[in-house]
Structure 1
């Protein structure tokens, strides 16, 4: 299934989605998102995105912030035995964010977030009493003992600074100091003394500068005060740790609620990102249903709109009752149409808005894609054998709740044998009421499709006058690959092209090609007459 997702650009869509996420834990979840294959889950996911979409459409400004993972914070704190003040500040940011969002969650798909907030609100009140979250520090009044300790510490520092200022001023006037200041070394207050005057000052030498010109001396007259301050700091630290342990134990008792909060908030943030992404390409919500046809009106692959230069974009209608076979010229848009049907289906049943005017999507429990070259050089596997394995898996697992997307199946081997095998496979999966979309250049498959009542025909339009594809899909008509036109456009000589055409002139294929071209001209005339374009 992961291989199929990659071929439909699912991971690239997730990368764009990630741009609208704020928190790392949400971005991590986003990279591992898989489509939903349950009708009930798909409806719930759409309801969540639609709820946020409606708020944004009303002009509500939902304030989301960068939040740190609660699980990671709890893991670090549990190893240590308590939360650090900076970690408590991160928890406080969760409460600040939720306070602004909670009013929107009443009777919403995110009402569970409000319930969880109510469960842990006591922790917020506790943090307000003890924590200065902006500074990441414990408040002086977090406890009576801490208040007294810090008061003594403040008074001791004031006495020390007053004394140190007088010493500094006196020594600077005598020319003993390199600079008129004092600094700290290993938590002790020292003066920058010129090395030649170090014996003039009584005290403890703590450090010598790299040049050797300056020595840092703690004056003897402040040593006792410095010792007192250092002792008070140790006492303060013990009291802070005591407070941190008390609040941490309270927070640990709500760990289950906090973990659920992160899970629920991640769902909210991802739904917010889906709504925000949808606004960039003016998307719509598809009608989800348990069964029925795929109907997409004026749809386009989202990556064509999300790329930098998206001015040349073509929208198409896609209707798949049971099976659809798309033919047409090379580089005409067959594979893009196939991928568009696939990615819009995946997005639609996973809570995304899709770039379409409107859409109806049945819920699929499985999606299989056989697209591109899966040749494995290491395993010695050919392209055709790899495609055969994909087709075998499809035959083994496809049912009425499956969407199968096949891009030019049967290639890589004898064309007639490959087409015949594919025709048998298509016929079998159609019997199972599996929905299937096929692109092909095979005349055999195009002819055979006329005999399969459940396989409708479509072609990618080609402008015969300009010799350019229009990338528009036309139903109930088969198309030609127009290899010669593409070769001429690329620059093949007229001699090569004339010789190639001569090989086909006496074949029934060439007669068929002329009939198709004639029918195309008739269709163009009808369009002009009735202004269908």
Structure 2
């Protein structure tokens, strides 16, 4: 990049401001080396770095960058086996700490899913942390010249011994200086140090009366500083302890230095990364201070600066302007009065372009477009500044010659007062020729001028556009507002008239102008009037547009608030309803649990009572069986029947009742018969065969009962709604009936419910004589709500 242009456009002033934003000397060194870049991707990457830094500062505040040092000499000393001073070790610990804190700083911000800093995270991810060494240094070293007692147990022990020895020496010396015998001998009753040994001041004439070693004397010679013989050994021991202390400190520092040497490569890598991060955050701080934005970059020479502001003019004084170039025209000619802002416009375009190519955000509105040029050339005079214009034709032409000789593709050229300082006609012709030359080479050019010929040139030439800086004739002051597409009017006659020049002179001046010039100035005047009217209408339109937009935003905001309130109300209502339901569910579960407990207790009590009733019934039946057996055995048959088969009719002698044989007689002659609904165990001696008529009658009666049972009995029994006691009686009776009816399988419906009824029926079926087996229903049969019973 052209060095003269960098100076002319005051780029280095921006660099000096940027340096103040860096925290470390390393960051400032990078700033010193910062030059505008020429590669589009490099510039984009640098702009992205700055943007990430800005976003982090806006979200989290300034990052913790204190403690970044240039450790090159310290690390080199450690690697060579040298012992580092405490101050050097503290700097290394600070450097390790800042790296660790930066990692934590970025990690904390990444907890927010919306935050994303790929470039900075890449740098910080490469930082190595050594918390153990960092803590060890901080634990061992208090300051640049002080080692902590905690550095080692040996050092702590030595220092305790030194403290004890000091106390003993001072105690001994206090007894010496406070002795009444010694007060006349001593110059003062004080204890002092000479050559790191405790001494007392003794008068010169009393030297012989005070045994000890002389270490010093006063300038007058009247006082000798003597170490009493009684503490010489103490001082020797103290000195030995201090030697041990020094050796232990050296050992500690050597150990720490060796540990630093082991990680020296990581420390130096960290140093480079931290310096880069300091530089990036310096760029971010400058962007925030200048209200800068990230421009949209291109390498096609297209510039569209929205509300651009010169960064070196105070914010309360600078006028923001829209400046564009490279889309419909490649040359822009700016006209207008002196001190009207033409030079500021040139410098604004040039400096903002340099800043953008250096990776700095530029002070303009969002979505501004900046081009990346291979070179930027500026001819604004050898001593040119924003306040002065001291250029001459010769200096201008020297610069122009150098620019044309150094010209390369994709360049931006800025000319101030092109062709000035010589004959106007020749100067205008020369200026147009230079502009044509640059236009033919497709060089982006902005030039300022006073020549009317260049205004006409811009109007007549395609790809060249007029612009002007506005001047308020009423106040005789510039507004510094740039108007692209409008050539500037000199306003010389109007200004002279306002300043009091006689009308006769002004009219005579107008007569001296050519007719074409007068018409051209009149056209410019009319254009200016139309422009102001257009600007006024535009301003009013913009105002109304903003009001409408503001009303729309307010309505939208109110709508969003209403939606938010509605959503919050619904959300709160749902939450409250959920709480009520959860509470009701808990209460219901508790009630159900209590009911189950009560039901279980009741069922247990019922089962107990049923069992007691069954036991009583069983006892009565046993008694009746015994009585019946006694009665039956009371009468015997004189002719016991033989060859009895199941189903044969017999007569019970004692009961005088016809019965049916259910089982064949055993070896003792006992068998089971059924008389009506009662089954009885009898002996062959108590029965006799009936006659055929009686047999037919009995068979007919029995078969009738069986047919009746078969027709009336159902294959399922519904117990739902009954308690366990009622259900068990129903089941017992039902099983007798289905057994008599000869059914093989039946279904007992007990429902699912609490399971008490199912379990009670299950226990009953296990011990029932008619039951061959049972199971719960399958899918399609009723599931756990029914029990399928297989009969014998």
TM-score (norm 1): 0.84
2:46–2:358 contact (8 Å) kept in structure 1: yes
Structure 2 equivalent of residue 288 of structure 1: 297
Question: Which structure is larger by alpha-carbon Rg, 1 or 2?
Answer: 2
| Whole-Å separation in 2 of the counterparts to 1:187 and 1:487 | 89
Does residue 1:342 correspond to 2:343, yes or no? no
1:267: Cα distance to partner? 1.8
Does residue 1:301 correspond to 2:307, yes or no? no
1:283: Cα distance to partner? 2.2
Would the alpha carbon gap of residues 179 and 36 (structure 1) be closer, same or farther in structure 2, given more than 3 Å must change?
farther
Structure 2 equivalent of residue 331 of structure 1: 339
| Whole-Å separation in 2 of the counterparts to 1:463 and 1:188 | 87
Does residue 1:108 correspond to 2:118, yes or no? yes
Q: Which structure carries more relative contact order (alpha carbon 8 Å, separation 6+)? A: 1
Q: Which moved more, 1:224-233 or 1:198-207?
A: 198-207
| Deviation string, structure 1 residues 376-396 (Cα, Å, up to 9, x no partner) | xxxxxx954443343233323
Does residue 1:224 correspond to 2:233, yes or no? yes
SS in 2 for 1:109: helix
Would the alpha carbon gap of residues 92 and 480 (structure 1) be closer, same or farther in structure 2, given more than 3 Å must change?
same
Spell out the pairing of 1:196-275 with structure 2 (5 A cutoff): 201-208=210-217, 216-275=225-284
1:182–1:190 contact (8 Å) kept in structure 2: yes
| Deviation string, structure 1 residues 59-118 (Cα, Å, up to 9, x no partner) | 344222153322254467679933211110011111222221112456632345435432
Structure 2 equivalent of residue 46 of structure 1: 47
1:58: Cα distance to partner? 1.5
How many residues end up aligned between the 2 structures? 519
Would the alpha carbon gap of residues 511 and 101 (structure 1) be closer, same or farther in structure 2, given more than 3 Å must change?
same
SS in 1 for 2:334: strand
Structure 2 equivalent of residue 423 of structure 1: 432
Does residue 1:314 correspond to 2:340, yes or no? no
SS in 1 for 2:369: strand
Structure 1 equivalent of residue 513 of structure 2: 507
1:50–1:275 contact (8 Å) kept in structure 2: yes
Q: Which moved more, 1:21-30 or 1:435-444?
A: 21-30
2:335–2:469 contact (8 Å) kept in structure 1: yes
Would the alpha carbon gap of residues 193 and 424 (structure 1) be closer, same or farther in structure 2, given more than 3 Å must change?
farther
| Whole-Å separation in 1 of the counterparts to 2:83 and 2:198 | 31
Q: Which moved more, 1:285-294 or 1:110-119?
A: 110-119
Structure 1 equivalent of residue 85 of structure 2: 84
SS in 2 for 1:369: strand
1:232: Cα distance to partner? 3.5
| Whole-Å separation in 1 of the counterparts to 2:474 and 2:520 | 20
TM-score (norm 2): 0.59
Structure 2 equivalent of residue 525 of structure 1: 533
1:355: Cα distance to partner? 1.6
SS in 2 for 1:457: strand
Structure 2 equivalent of residue 412 of structure 1: 421
1:334: Cα distance to partner? 0.8
Structure 1 equivalent of residue 26 of structure 2: 25
Structure 2 equivalent of residue 469 of structure 1: 478
SS in 1 for 2:127: helix
2:96–2:130 contact (8 Å) kept in structure 1: no
1:203: Cα distance to partner? 3.6
| Whole-Å separation in 2 of the counterparts to 1:53 and 1:488 | 53
1:242: Cα distance to partner? 4.2
| Whole-Å separation in 1 of the counterparts to 2:425 and 2:181 | 100
| Deviation string, structure 1 residues 445-493 (Cα, Å, up to 9, x no partner) | 222222332222110011222222111111111113446777899x8x7
Structure 2 equivalent of residue 378 of structure 1: none
1:21–1:273 contact (8 Å) kept in structure 2: yes
1:331: Cα distance to partner? 0.8
Any unmatched runs of 5+ in structure 1? 376-381
Structure 2 equivalent of residue 458 of structure 1: 467
1:374–1:386 contact (8 Å) kept in structure 2: no
1:210: Cα distance to partner? 5.7
| Whole-Å separation in 2 of the counterparts to 1:324 and 1:463 | 22
| Whole-Å separation in 1 of the counterparts to 2:267 and 2:494 | 64
Q: Which moved more, 1:236-245 or 1:169-178?
A: 169-178
Any unmatched runs of 5+ in structure 2? 108-116, 385-390, 543-792
SS in 1 for 2:88: helix
| Whole-Å separation in 1 of the counterparts to 2:52 and 2:63 | 12
Q: Which moved more, 1:230-239 or 1:12-21?
A: 230-239
2:353–2:370 contact (8 Å) kept in structure 1: yes
